[in-house]
Amino acid sequence: MDHQSLRQILWIMLIFSCSLQASFGATNTTEENEDCPSLSNAENLQQTQLIQRLTHVCRYDRLERPIEYDPVTAARLPTVVKTRIYVYFLQNLNSDLLQFKMHALLQLSFQDKRLAYKLIQAQRTDPILGQKHLSERLWLPHIFFANERDSSILGTDEKDVLTSLAPDGNVIISTRMEATLYCWMDFKKFPFDQQFCYTVLESWMYNTSDLVLEWEKSNPISFDPEMRLTEYNMAQYWHNETLVMADDRNLRHGAFVGNYSSLSFTVNLKREIGFYLLDYYLPSMMIVAISWVSFWLQADASPPRIMLGTSTMLSFITLSSTQSKTLPKVSYIKVSEIWFLGCTFFIFGSMVEFAFVNTIWRRKENIELKKVNSKYIIKSTLTPRPARRQIGGSLSNDSRARSCSSLDNIVSSTESVRNGNGTVNQGFNNYLTVHPNLPIIKTECADTVSICSERTTGNDHIVDMDKDKKDTPPTFTTMTPQEIAMWIDRRSRFLFPAMFLAFNALYWTFVYVL
């Protein structure tokens, strides 16, 4: 083959390769146009076709949040997600597990201008509605309940998720869900307590630089008007917007740090006390009053009084135990426990009173009282028998010593006024009469008999006191043990009810005022 033929072959190959390259370039351009469908003829598209073209990967990335810039600074703005909650059902608080269950509709709305279609389909004014298949094609904020135990989306065949896409690009996601939430309760004033239960929503993935949660301006929280609670009364509720900081110490968002937007609403639940008044407080008052019946029984009636005291105590303990079964084992004292201690004190006090009067009733000796009043009766009954004898002996010795001392002083005074010839001075005749040759007076001093000192000179004379003056009668009163026991029972019939009324006044004042 000559040189000329080789040159022709090379030119043919070059032309063929150029033609192949041109044909492949045209094919690639056609494929690219087919992969990114046009929106020029959107007026004739159906809803599904319109959504498919709007969310095509060539113009929409569902992993990236909506893009919006500040018109002044040109800085990218965070996405604002407005929130609204409608509560269908609120279960009574589980006091033992510190939690409650809620069925609610959670509605999230935000603006995504990438999905706006009012310019390409001007005749369409209604929003496009869809369920799970529509929401799976869109970017959605990840919101979670910060105080949840568990939660799930309601639904039978399909999950109850409704997605609404407005012509201006406003997206609304409505989800029917149930959630079991923790509620940190305080039982110090149980059963007159009120609980504040919080529901906290937080952004999981984006901090405040990328996403901000806000409550809707109108009706952010609403409840089903037919909703009723059996044990509680919903007094009020309110909502709040806060920030939550996540750092190395607070790992609530894992390895992500920053400030995260948070929404919360609080429900104030007051416990209905009608059940506790009828089933606990009134029966306990009756049990305490029944324990006072023993004061009308005779002090030596041991079997009926013991049976009455023990039966009322056991009945009250059984009644109280049924009220505390549903409560957690807390370390602080509750108001109901103060009532329990007070009623136990009065029931146990009636049993102690029976033991006291029964012991007095069985005594054999009468008791001497200076006066018949509470002070001397209680003092004489509480003082041991040897101590009473010792007190009585010391009183007798003191009186005898005073008698000897007084008589000795009288005799000494008589000698001092006697003159040398054995007669008494004239000035003393108005006070004393001297009788010679009288026997010596003997007096018992302490526990032995002793003769007082003789005061005589020459002819012995003893001063005689006025015989018309008589000894003062004693003021002591003697009571039998049976009389004292009956006296204590009669006083207890009024003392115990009065003390119980005072306890009730203090208790109910503390409950409703403090």
- pLDDT of residue 441 exceeding 90: no
Band (pLDDT 50/70/90 cuts) for residue 368 is confident
Sorted by where each starts, the structural domains of the chain and their CATH numbers stand as: 50-272 (2.70.170.10), 275-365+493-512 (1.20.58.390)
Q: What is the pLDDT of residue 205?
A: 86
3-state secondary structure at position 76: strand
H or E element that contains 43: none
Least confident of 222-236, 386-400, 484-498: 386-400
What is the rounded average pLDDT of the residues 21-36?
A: 51
Q: How many CB atoms lie within 10 A of CB 246?
A: 18
154-167: per-residue pLDDT in tens? 988 788 999 999 99
**pLDDT averaged over every residue in the chain:** 79
Tokens describing residue 173: 């996601």
Q: What is the pLDDT of residue 454?
A: 41
User: What tokens were used for 322?
Assistant: 């049924």
C-beta atoms surrounding 476 within 10 Å? 11
Please check the confidence at residue 400 and state whether its pLDDT lies above 90.
no
Can you tell me the distance from the alpha carbon of 300 to that of 352, in angstroms, rounded to the nearest whole number?
A: 14
Name which residue leads in pLDDT, 88 or 396: 88
High-pLDDT (> 90) share of the chain, %:
49
Q: What is the pLDDT of residues 450-495, one digit of tens each?
A: 333 444 444 444 444 444 444 545 566 788 889 889 999 999 999 9
Confidence band for 18, pLDDT divided at 50, 70 and 90:
low
Over residues 411-420, mean pLDDT: 44
CA-based radius of gyration for the chain: 52
- Token pair recorded at residue 457: 């000179």
Please provide the DSSP assignment of 399-463 as one string. HHHHHHHHHHHHHHHHHHHB-TTS-B-GGGTTT--EEESPPPP-EEETTEEEPPPP--SSS-EEE
Q: What is the pLDDT of residue 243?
A: 86
- The CA distance from 336 to 320, in Å, is 9
pLDDT of 14:
64
What is the structure's pLDDT at 1? Answer: 53
Q: What is the pLDDT of residue 456?
A: 41
Number of Cβ atoms within 10 Å of the Cβ of 49: 12
Mean pLDDT computed over 62-72: 89
- Greatest mean pLDDT among 8-22, 49-63, 370-384, 428-442 lies in 49-63
Q: With contact defined as beta carbons under 8 Å apart, do 160 and 153 qualify?
A: yes
pLDDT in the model for residue 34 = 55
Q: In terms of C-beta distances under 8 Å and separation of at least 24 residues, what long-range contacts does 215-222 make, across chains too?
A: 215/82, 215/83, 215/84, 215/239, 215/241, 215/263, 216/82, 216/83, 216/84, 216/109, 219/84, 220/83, 220/84, 220/85, 220/265, 221/84, 221/85, 221/87, 221/265, 222/85, 222/86, 222/87
pLDDT: is 423 or 220 the higher one? 220
pLDDT at 130: 92
pLDDT at position 137: 92
Is residue 399 within 8 A of residue 472, CB to CB? The reply is no
Residue 13's alpha-carbon distances to 25, 47, 105, in angstroms, are: 18, 51, 71
Measured CA to CA in angstroms, residue 98 lies from 89, 119, 381 at distances of 18, 53, 54
pLDDT at 26 over 50: no
CA–CA distance, 187 with 287 (Å, rounded to integer): 25
Q: Which tens digits make up the pLDDT trace of 183-194?
A: 999 999 999 999
> What pLDDT digit, counting tens, does each position of 295-350 carry?
999 998 999 999 999 999 999 999 999 888 878 888 899 999 999 999 999 999 99
CA angle, 513 as apex, 508 and 514 as ends, to 5°?
A: 100
The pLDDT assigned to 327 comes to 83
Tell me if residue 266 falls in helix, strand or coil. strand
The reported pLDDT for the residue numbered 10 is 64
Q: Render pLDDT for 97-155 as a digit per residue (tens, 0 to 9).
A: 899 999 999 999 999 999 999 888 888 888 999 988 899 999 999 999 999 999 999 98
Q: Which residues contact 193 (CB under 8 A, 6 or more apart)?
A: 185, 186, 187, 271
pLDDT for 466 equals 46
